[in-house]
Amino acid sequence: MSKLTHLDDKGEARMVDVTEKAVTEREARAEATIHMAAETLRMIIDGEHPKGDVLAVARIAGIMAAKRTHDLIPLCHALNLTSVKVELTAGADGASVHILTRCKLAGQTGVEMEALTAASIAALTLYDMCKAVDKGMEIGKVRLLEKKGGRSGHWIADDH
């Protein structure tokens, strides 16, 4: 197992110095799922939700969150993302929304945290916008699906 890069030799937190790292193309994909009542999903899909197009708002929130990850997660680098995509699709179960995010850049550090933050905030935005009609929603399966680039190369989740 590799050592934790955000700890120095004394075990104290630090921001990783990426000065000497090569600029490479990097990409990460993440997902989240929010489970809800079937009626809540129906309202969203049919455009009958009192707050309007909640999927569009969640998509924008995810994109904005990816761009601001360094403000939310201590020790993350501020990155110049070149692409952020947030896709929201109704689950086949008729009672969930699946969120898939992808972040890209050419840089010296990876974009895993940005992809995970985008998925998380998109899910939280859906919760916020729908909580008046469904307080029992559950956010789950927030995880990294894939990362490309950098020293550790290409990684894909075992079940993906």
Question: CA 69 to CA 67: how far, in whole Å?
Answer: 6
The response to whether 39 counts as a known ligand-binding position is no
The response to whether 43 counts as a known ligand-binding position is no
8, 53, 71, 128: the catalytic one is 128
Residue found by looking up tokens 């890209």 in the block: 104
The response to whether 77 counts as a known ligand-binding position is yes
Question: CA 116 to CA 114: how far, in whole Å?
Answer: 5
The response to whether 160 counts as a known ligand-binding position is no
The response to whether 81 counts as a known ligand-binding position is no
How many helices (H) and strands (E) would you count in the chain?
4, 5
- Mark whether 134 is an active-site residue: no
Under DSSP, the state recorded for 93 is T
Contact criterion met (CB below 8 Å) for 100 and 87: yes
Binding site, annotated residues: 75-77, 113-114
- List the catalytic residues: 128
Annotated binding site for substrate: 75-77, 113-114
